[in-house]
Structures are given as structure tokens and as C-alpha cells.
Amino acid sequence: MPVIAIPPCSKLPDYEASIRRSGGQPRVLDRASDRPADLVRAVDGLLLAGGGDVQPALYGEAAHPTFSAAEAGRDEYEIELVRLAFDARLPVFAICRGVQLLNVARGGTLIQDIASQLPGSLEHKLEVPPHQPFELAHEVWVDKGSCVATLLGGRLRDADSFAVNSRHHQAAKTLGEGLVVAATAPDGIIEAVEDHAYPFCIGVQWHPENFWRTGEFRELFEGFIKAATR
Ligand code: MN
């Protein structure tokens, strides 16, 4: 059973359940004792989970007033981890903050606060119970040639879009090296990225892990775990 590393975060249960449901074994990391260089040899995949904002200094900007820091040391730890994971060609699946972290690790930048910096944008920070039906959130338009479209093809409507949940106030601005857009919200916010140079590298801005009970977006976790199966 492939072992999937998850750096510690405050909402672990849904991530762990989603990995188990798809046939993987989650391993929650301890930043104090799990050295990234050792870890990438001991696990089969890396999941970058949601959480606080990546420090803007890491992409050369001053902090917006809405900046809400992640746990001390988490940014640096995850950046080292994800870089080593790519060196080792481990499958990487990034969710919400995880996409933002992945993008910054590759030299990209972030929209620090969608609501105030892009007036007129959709509401992306919907504070609803986590597994509410996704009709409550917004649509995403999916690039037909993307891995996201391949995995979630059954969900696509005639117009190449489907609805997602949404609990983020940041998103990728300029993309990091090697990353391409796989899905976009109707207001232009980047909702999914991929790197086709690696066996599995997908990042989504929404929260597929919240749906482990009902199975929506399960194909993303299944594709990830399949790629991590040696
Ligand atoms: Mn969104």
C-alpha cells in the first residue's frame, strides 16, 4: 500500500480519510523529526494540504493586511520537501494552500487577497460546512488536454465545466516554472495547475478531500494513489 506523506495541518481527518478510501496509507509528518531528505526515500507520494498563507517575502512581496501566517517553519519545511519530492519524481498532489506553496516553490507569485485586489471577482471564500453540496460554490472551466480533465471527465458538463467548493482568499498570480493552468474560475482565478514533466503533479484550489463520504472528486485521489503505487 503506497505511503503518502502529509505535512502536519489543522484539518487532517478528511485528507487521511480520502487517502485511505483510495487505497493509500497516510503518514503525517513531524517537522521536528522527519527530515525531508530522508523522507522522500521512505514514502511513495506527497500531499500538500490546506492551511495559512505562504509568507509573501518568499515571492518578493510585502504582506497584504489580510495576511494570515501558517504555522512557524511550515513554509520552509514544505518548500524543501516538495523540491526534494520532485527530484525523486514522487507523485505530488497539492490542495488549496498546497497549490500556492507549490507555485511559490517553483518561483511563482500569488494574488494575496482575491476579494480586495480583484474587485468584482467571485466569492471564493465560502465558509459553509465542509461537505455541503458544491452547487453552493462556483464553476471551474477545465482545459480539455489536462490531467484534471482526464481524471474528472465524467463530471464535465457540455460546457467543459463543473462546480467546486471554495475556501481560499489567495491564488496563483504568475505561474512557477513548469506549471500550466488546468482549470480556471469564470472570473479568471486559477483553480488547478499541473506539471506534465512529472509522473503526477496536480494542484487544485478547491477541497476534494471534504467529499470522501460521498465520492465527488474521488478520481483525483485515486489517480494520485495509483501513480504512487510501485
Ligand atoms: Mn475558488
| Per-residue pLDDT at 132 | 65
Residue scoring higher pLDDT (173 or 8): 173
Band the pLDDT of 218: cuts 50, 70, 90.
Answer: very high
| Per-residue pLDDT at 159 | 73
49 C-alpha to ligand 1 centroid (Å)? 15
202 C-alpha to ligand 1 centroid (Å)? 16
Contacts for 72 with CB less than 8 Å, ≥ 6 apart: none
170 C-alpha to ligand 1 centroid (Å)? 9
Q: Is 135 a residue whose pLDDT tops 70?
A: no
| Per-residue pLDDT at 69 | 97
Ligand 1 (ion): residues with CB under 5 Å are: 124, 166
Distance CA 130, CA 217 (A): 14
| Per-residue pLDDT at 131 | 63
CA-wise closest residue to 164 among 96, 223, 227, 109: 96
For the stretch 67-119, pLDDT in tens is: 999 999 999 999 999 999 999 999 999 999 999 999 999 999 999 999 999 99
Band the pLDDT of 133: cuts 50, 70, 90.
Answer: low
| Per-residue pLDDT at 41 | 94
Q: What is the 3-state secondary structure (H, E, C) of the chain?
A: CCEEEECCCCCHHHHHHHHHHCCCEEEECCCCCCCHHHHHHHCCEEEECCCCECCHHHHCCCCCCCCCECCCCHHHHHHHHHHHHHHCCCCEEEECHHHHHHHHHCCCCEECCHHHHCCCCCCCECCCCCCCCHHHCEEEEECCCCHHHHHCHHHCCCCCEEEECCECCCEECCCCCCCEEEEECCCCCEEEEECCCCCCEEEECCCHHHHCCCCCCHHHHHHHHHHHCC
Domains, the chain, ordered by start: 3-229 (3.40.50.880)
8 A C-beta contact, residue 203 and residue 94: yes
Q: Is 128 a residue whose pLDDT tops 80?
A: no
51 C-alpha to ligand 1 centroid (Å)? 15
- Please tell me the total number of residues recorded for the chain in this structure: 230
Catalytic annotation, residues: 96, 207, 209
CA-wise closest residue to 18 among 227, 228, 217: 217
Q: What predicted TM-score, i.e. pTM, was given to this entire model?
A: 0.96
CA-wise closest residue to 165 among 127, 119, 221: 127
Q: Which amino acid is at 34?
A: D
Band the pLDDT of 157: cuts 50, 70, 90.
Answer: low
